[in-house]
């Protein structure tokens, strides 16, 4: 029993650090291929680009840990970003009030997804796919299909500002990450999330309020998406109706690359962060190497498939 | 009938599973065109024997002689080629395909062009198979629209379409009403007249005596006897099935009679539970016996609020209560150790500590933050108290043995100090040592005033530690025995539908 225990942990450790090793290897390769990669300004740029997606990926990690998924993130990003911008530009609302309302709407969309899943017994894939469609539609209605521009400094600061050398979105990512890490590893809610993903039936019979927890993870995902919508709008100085299209792929690929199992119950936000940076560094590297944006999507798709195959393979090993 | 004209001989079959001799030198011979019943308690080896016959698992030693030829059956496909088909308890039809499509699934007659199916030919062939069973069904009917009994007929028709002349039926009547059972028997007789041999597994002895020509009894993986049905009585068969003596394996302390902690009146849920009433006292161990499918697990699930009930009332400590979720049941002081501990009792990928303490986290956390030191102390206490063998509290439960896993499930309930503990097959698949420890623990809990309901398919266990025994059959309580008056024969007879101590 003892030796088995130890070798199991070793494999686990190897599996975890293997993602970090992939990230490092990727960085080394890019350093060799492009002399522009390993510069302070480029690395900060990578961090800035990645932070937008990584926040969504952290929210996504919660849903995936319960064995669910949230496909609506891209639409929620667009809708909440547009809403924040619209409330400020059209309705003259105070910046913080507008951001607060945008977050509220993001959370509410999470409640909708959660209720569809828990009370409507609709599979998460289908429920959030419909919320994705509705969210995108509402964004187009609200923006009339045109960008909303004309934002003031106090708003734009959240996407373009810096504290010392660090871009604000990167700082916010750090806060979100620490918060999510603490919640998942130190709180009752976090443990219940893992428990439901590990075995929902057991969790229900153990008296855990599985419905409430499942709704809550979609609220978390809605909030992180709304936050990202605000940051993205601020960074671009305007809300784009097509913001976040296809974002769900990156946001799912990051946790899965980072060892979060699509079957639920296994994974960590630390892994998600590393996974997000793999995706981010990859994008940045492909840009530096002047690979066309069309091919970049092909490559991302392939990386995603490889990550899912790794998940399936390790699941079989666990059995 | 000539019982020496063997169509099938399974000679000296042995099969070992880790820790269990599932079959020990069993010889099973079936004559051409007979209906041969195979009976025995749960775990006697019936299923293992049939799995070997149908190629689902290999045997360790022994031979199979089919129509005078020794054969090797290494896959279900091979068994089908050899004309052996099995109809499982759980039907394996595809609900939204029609009867004809189900019968010829994967073997559709080809049409004129590649990739096309000759539908008219398929349906007329399907019609032909149904006609052999005297079944007037339209092959275009969707399976989902058929009652269970007719779905079974489709399974039989499918088996026949493989040109099977040996058909194994595993508990085919367990889901059928009496009238449907009669229809099935009619079909079995029709098949027999056509020279088809049927191996019939059933727990219901009345049915065995109605339909079978001969009966083979297994017990603990050994052949106990074979007899023409006309030469034995129900009592003989029960005695052969049960057989063993009760040792002093189950020391029992009796506790003085105390207050009723749980009272149930007229609990009903479809056909699973029909008008079930019972009382449980503090400090009492109430054994619930019955065959598979008798309604014991549905009773436990209904009491614990997992499946909704249609009718019935429940009182806990004299208070009328409505239990509509496990959370409510837990709040009322109930605990439930489910039959399938891996699927319903444990978080296999999580650590021992989390598995034990997850029920009491509200009390072991401040503002939602877990107090890990408290959790360690609590879990460590139960690991020692129940002697859970684990290298550490961080060990994943997946890596523990079955007995230790079960102790972890029980420990989780103990952290909540339940008044009522329901255990469904608490010692299934657990080695003898851990089993005795779990029995001792149940006795101790009863001594502390916990009311315990224990469902078990093992009669020695039921007899050994229950203060009182209820017997269920077809969703009803059909008998009640005190510890003193209960015997294996009496319970078995009652459970299988013979004479009972019905009240």
Residue A297 domain flag: no
A272 CB neighbour count, 10 Å cutoff: 30
Q: Determine the residue of chain A that is closest to B410 in CA distance.
A: A206
Mean pLDDT of A242-246: 92
Nearest-Cα distance to chain A for B383, in Å, is 16
Listed residue (A248, A207, A288) closest to A33, CA to CA: A288
**Complete DSSP assignment for B194-250:** TT-EEEEE-S-HHHHHHH-SEEEEEETTEEEEEEEGGG--HHHHHHHHH-PPP-S--
Distance of CA B319 to CAs A281, B311, B313, B315, B451, Å? 64, 17, 10, 5, 16
End-to-end Cα separation, chain A, in angstroms: 17
Q: Determine the residue of chain B that is closest to A205 in CA distance.
A: B326
- Residue B245's pLDDT is 44
- Residue B320's pLDDT is 95
**8 Å CB contact between B226 and B40:** no
Residue A267 domain flag: no
Cα–Cα dist B296/B458, whole Å: 13
Chain A residue numbers touching B392 (CB-CB < 8 A): 5
A311 touches chain B (CB under 8 A): no
Mean pLDDT of A270-279: 94
- The DSSP bridge pattern shows strands B273-281 and B6-17 to be unpaired
Cα–Cα dist A317/B87, whole Å: 33
Residue A6 domain flag: no
Token pair recorded at residue B422? 């329901």
- Residue B19's pLDDT is 65
pLDDT at A7 > cutoff 60: no
Cα–Cα dist B284/B294, whole Å: 23
Q: Count Cβ atoms within 10 A of the Cβ of residue A165 and give its class: 0-12 exposed, 13-18 middle, 19 or more buried.
A: exposed
Residue A28 domain flag: no
- Residue B42's pLDDT is 67
Render pLDDT for A26-53 as a digit per residue (tens, 0 to 9).
Answer: 999 999 998 899 998 899 999 999 998 9
Q: Which regions of chain A does DSSP assign to beta strands (E)?
A: 148-149, 162-163, 166-167, 238-239
Q: What is the pTM of this model?
A: 0.76
Chain A residue numbers touching B360 (CB-CB < 8 A): none
- Residue B307's pLDDT is 93
A202 touches chain B (CB under 8 A): yes
pLDDT at A104 > cutoff 70: yes
**8 Å CB contact between B283 and B447:** yes
Cβ of B326 within 8 Å of Cβ of A206? The answer is: yes
A and B: number of Cβ contacts within 8 A: 79
Residue A149 domain flag: yes
Chain B residue numbers touching A208 (CB-CB < 8 A): 358
pLDDT at A91 > cutoff 60: yes
Full set of structural domains in chain B with CATH: 1-83+165-245 (3.40.50.300), 93-163 (no CATH), 260-496 (3.40.50.300)
**Helices assigned H by DSSP within B89-218:** 99-103, 119-132, 148-161, 178-193, 205-211
- Residue A1's pLDDT is 34
A199: nearest CB among B346, B362, B369: B346
Residue A135 domain flag: yes
- Residue B133's pLDDT is 84
Better pLDDT: A18 or A134: A134
Question: Which strand (E) or helix (H) includes residue A31?
Answer: helix A2-33
- The DSSP bridge pattern shows strands B319-321 and B311-316 to be antiparallel
Residue A277 domain flag: no
**8 Å CB contact between A29 and A284:** no
Chain A residue numbers touching B345 (CB-CB < 8 A): 202, 205
ipTM of this complex prediction, to 2 decimal places: 0.84
Q: Is the torsion defined by CA of B456, B460, B461, B464 positive or negative? A: positive
**8 Å CB contact between A73 and A291:** no
End-to-end Cα separation, chain B, in angstroms: 42
Contacts of B302 (CB under 8 A, 6+ apart): B267, B269, B273, B308, B309, B312
Phi, psi of B180 (to 5 degrees): -65, -35
Q: Which residue has the tokens 């979060």?
A: A260
**How many domains does chain A divide into?**
1
Token pair recorded at residue B74? 């290494």
Chain A residue numbers touching B338 (CB-CB < 8 A): 205
- For residue B40, give the DSSP letter: -
- Residue A14's pLDDT is 63
**8 Å CB contact between B166 and B199:** yes
**8 Å CB contact between A23 and A278:** yes
**Complete DSSP assignment for B439-479:** HHHHHHHHHTT-EEEEE-S-HHHHHHH-SEEEEEETTEEEE
Listed residue (B73, B71, B135, B78) closest to B103, CA to CA: B135
- Residue B183's pLDDT is 85
Which residues are paired to B168 by β-bridges?
Answer: B86, B199
- Taking each helix axis from N to C end, the angle separating A73-89 and A153-160, rounded to the nearest 10 degrees, works out to 150
Chain B residue numbers touching A203 (CB-CB < 8 A): 347, 358
- Residue B263's pLDDT is 96
Task: Give the range of the structural domain holding residue A168, as residue numbers without chain letter.
Answer: 39-244
**8 Å CB contact between A241 and A146:** yes
Distance of CA B208 to CAs A223, A298, B89, B237, B239, Å? 63, 64, 17, 10, 15
Dmax (CA) for chain B in angstroms is 80
Residue A34 domain flag: no
- Residue B502's pLDDT is 43
- Residue B47's pLDDT is 85
- Residue A307's pLDDT is 82
Q: Is B293 left (phi over 0), alpha (psi -120 to 50) or beta?
A: left
Cα–Cα dist B479/B470, whole Å: 6
Chain centroid to CA A85: how far? Answer: 22
> What does pLDDT average to over chain A?
91
Q: How do the pLDDT tens digits run along chain B, 503 residues long?
A: 677 889 999 999 999 877 678 899 999 999 999 999 999 876 688 888 999 999 989 999 999 999 999 999 999 889 989 999 998 877 778 888 999 999 998 888 888 888 888 899 999 999 998 888 888 889 999 998 888 888 888 988 888 888 889 999 988 887 777 778 888 899 899 999 999 999 999 877 888 999 999 999 998 889 999 999 999 988 888 888 877 544 445 556 666 667 899 999 999 999 899 999 999 999 999 999 988 788 999 999 999 999 999 999 999 999 999 999 999 999 999 999 998 888 899 999 999 999 999 999 988 888 899 999 999 999 999 999 998 988 899 999 988 888 899 999 999 999 999 999 999 999 887 776 778 889 999 999 998 999 999 999 888 889 989 999 999 999 999 999 998 888 888 998 888 876 444 44
Q: Count Cβ atoms within 10 A of the Cβ of residue B263 and give its class: 0-12 exposed, 13-18 middle, 19 or more buried.
A: middle
B236 CB neighbour count, 10 Å cutoff: 14
A194 touches chain B (CB under 8 A): yes
Cα–Cα dist A74/B177, whole Å: 54
Coil, strand, or helix at residue B189? helix
Token pair recorded at residue B325? 């979720």
| Per-range mean pLDDT, top range of A104-108, A151-155, A164-168, B235-239 | A104-108
Nearest-Cα distance to chain B for A311, in Å, is 15
Listed residue (B23, B4, B5) closest to B14, CA to CA: B23
Q: How confident is the model at residue A212 (pLDDT cuts 50, 70, 90)?
A: very high
- Taking each helix axis from N to C end, the angle separating A124-143 and A73-89, rounded to the nearest 10 degrees, works out to 30
- Residue A149's pLDDT is 93
Cα–Cα dist A135/A311, whole Å: 30
Residues of B with CB under 8 A from a CB of A: 304, 306, 326-327, 330, 336, 338, 343-350, 354, 358-359, 361-362, 365, 368-370, 390-392, 395-396, 398-399, 412
**8 Å CB contact between B10 and B23:** no
Which residues are paired to B338 by β-bridges?
Answer: none
Q: Which residue has the tokens 């090797």?
A: B72
């Amino acid at each position: 029993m003892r030796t088995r225990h130890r070798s199991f942990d070793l494999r686990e450790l190897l599996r975890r650090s293997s993602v970090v090793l992939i990230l490092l290897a990727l960085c080394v390769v890019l350093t060799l291929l492009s002399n522009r990669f390993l510069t302070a300004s480029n690395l900060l740029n990578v961090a800035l680009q990645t932070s937008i997606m990584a926040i969504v990926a952290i929210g996504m990690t919660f849903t995936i840990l319960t064995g669910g998924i949230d496909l609506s993130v891209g639409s929620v990003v667009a809708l909440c970003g547009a809403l924040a911008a619209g409330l400020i530009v059209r309705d003259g609302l105070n910046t913080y009030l507008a951001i607060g309302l945008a977050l509220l709407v993001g959370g509410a969309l999470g409640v909708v997804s959660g209720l569809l899943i828990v009370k409507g017994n609709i599979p998460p894939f289908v429920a959030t796919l419909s919320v994705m469609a509705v969210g995108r539609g509402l964004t187009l209605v609200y923006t009339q299909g045109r960008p909303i521009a004309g934002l003031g400094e106090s708003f734009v600061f959240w996407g373009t500002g810096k504290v010392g050398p660090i871009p604000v979105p990167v700082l916010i990512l750090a806060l979100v990450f620490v918060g999510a890490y603490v919640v998942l590893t130190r709180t009752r809610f976090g443990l219940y999330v893992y428990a439901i993903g590990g075995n929902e039936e057991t969790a229900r019979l153990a008296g855990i309020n599985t419905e409430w927890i499942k709704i809550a993870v979609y609220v978390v995902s809605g909030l992180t998406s709304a936050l990202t919508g605000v940051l993205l709008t601020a960074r671009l100085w305007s809300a784009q109706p097509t913001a976040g299209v296809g974002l769900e792929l990156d946001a799912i690929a990051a946790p899965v690359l980072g060892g979060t199992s699509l079957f639920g119950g296994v994974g960590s936000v630390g892994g998600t962060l590393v996974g997000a940076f793999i995706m981010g560094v990859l994008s940045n590297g492909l840009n530096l190497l002047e690979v066309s944006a069309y091919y970049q999507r092909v490559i991302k798709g392939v990386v995603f498939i490889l990550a899912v195959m790794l998940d399936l393979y390790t699941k079989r090993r666990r059995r | 009938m000539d019982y020496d004209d063997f169509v099938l001989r399974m000679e000296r079959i042995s099969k070992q599973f880790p820790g269990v001799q599932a079959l020990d030198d069993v010889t099973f011979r079936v004559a051409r065109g007979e209906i041969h019943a195979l009976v025995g308690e749960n775990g006697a080896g019936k299923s293992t024997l049939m799995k070997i016959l149908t190629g689902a698992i290999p045997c360790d030693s022994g031979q199979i002689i089919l129509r005078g030829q020794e054969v090797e059956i290494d896959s279900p496909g091979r068994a089908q080629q050899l004309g052996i088909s099995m109809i499982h308890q759980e039907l394996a039809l595809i609900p939204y395909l029609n009867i004809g499509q189900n019968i010829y699934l994967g073997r559709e007659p080809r049409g004129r062009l590649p990739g096309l199916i000759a539908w008219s030919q398929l349906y007329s062939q399907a019609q032909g198979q149904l006609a052999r069973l005297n079944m007037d069904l339209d092959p275009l009917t969707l399976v989902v629209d058929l009652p269970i009994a007719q779905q079974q007929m489709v399974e039989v028709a499918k088996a026949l379409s493989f040109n099977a002349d040996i058909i194994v039926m595993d508990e085919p009547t367990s889901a059928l009403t009496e009238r449907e059972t009669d229809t099935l028997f009619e079909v079995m007789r029709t098949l027999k007249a056509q020279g088809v041999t049927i191996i019939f597994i059933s727990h219901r002895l009345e049915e065995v005596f109605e339909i079978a020509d001969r009966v083979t009894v297994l017990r603990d993986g050994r052949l106990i006897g074979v007899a023409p049905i006309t030469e034995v009585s129900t009592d003989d068969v029960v005695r052969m099935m049960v057989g063993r003596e009760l040792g002093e394996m189950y020391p029992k302390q009796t506790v003085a009679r105390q207050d009723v902690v749980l009272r149930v009146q007229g609990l009903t849920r479809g056909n699973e539970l029909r008008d079930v009433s019972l009382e449980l006292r503090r400090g009492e161990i109430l054994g619930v016996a019955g065959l598979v499918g008798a309604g014991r697990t549905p009773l436990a699930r209904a009491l614990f609020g997992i499946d909704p009930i249609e009718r019935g009332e429940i009182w806990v400590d004299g208070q009328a209560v409505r239990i509509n979720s496990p959370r409510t049941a837990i709040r009322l002081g109930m605990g439930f150790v489910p039959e399938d501990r891996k699927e319903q009792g444990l978080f296999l990928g999580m650590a021992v500590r989390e598995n034990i303490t997850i029920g009491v986290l509200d009390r072991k956390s401040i503002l939602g933050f877990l107090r890990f030191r408290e959790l360690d102390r609590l879990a460590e206490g139960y690991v020692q108290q129940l002697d859970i063998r684990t290298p550490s509290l961080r060990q994943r439960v997946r890596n523990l043995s079955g007995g230790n896993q079960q102790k972890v499930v029980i420990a989780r309930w103990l952290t909540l100090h339940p008044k009522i503990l329901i255990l469904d097959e608490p010692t299934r698949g657990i080695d003898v040592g851990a089993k005795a420890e779990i029995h001792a623990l149940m006795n101790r809990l009863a001594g502390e005033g916990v009311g315990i309901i224990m469902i078990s398919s093992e009669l020695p266990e039921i007899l050994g530690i229950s203060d009182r025994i209820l017997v269920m059959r077809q969703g009803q309580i059909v008998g009640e025995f005190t510890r003193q008056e209960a015997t294996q024969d009496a319970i078995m007879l009652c459970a299988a539908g013979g004479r009972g101590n019905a009240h």
